[in-house]
Structure 1
Amino acid sequence: MNFFKIKTSWSNAEFIPIKLCMASIYILIGSYFHEFFENYYPILIVIFAVTVIWFVYQWLKKMKSENSSKI
């Protein structure tokens, strides 16, 4: 059995606990290593912006393809 080929569907409500878990650990790490990451803020902001744009583009593309397949 190949673990990485298993397909599941999750609702948005089922993602809430994992999102809260990840957000809390990111805040904890960020507050603990604040001075260390201070030098990397511009790089982190660029990575964040690129990934947000990429995610929104893929999401809109998926929503558009699902809507066009229903018509």
Structure 2
Amino acid sequence: MAHRPAAWFRNVAALGLLVAVAMVPAVTALLHGSLPLWLHIPLTGLALTLLALGSAVAGVAMVEFRQRREPAKTGE
């Protein structure tokens, strides 16, 4: 990952955020839908997992993006 430019991490962060935000209406639809319980629980768990992974990817990529854009600060 050392050879990736800062813009690549910005794009990954945007994609992760898009996935996380897209899961919000999906979770709402699953919670208010009339699915059988054996299907409702795994689908809701999958949607919540995708939401969590998308936000985690967005956060990690944004930290890496900021580190690549700003030079390292010394303690002096």
| TM superposition score category, shorter chain reference | 0.3 to 0.5
- Give the alignment's TM-score, normalised by structure 2: 0.42
Query: Greater helix share, 1 or 2?
Result: 1
Q: TM-score, normalised to structure 1's length?
A: 0.44
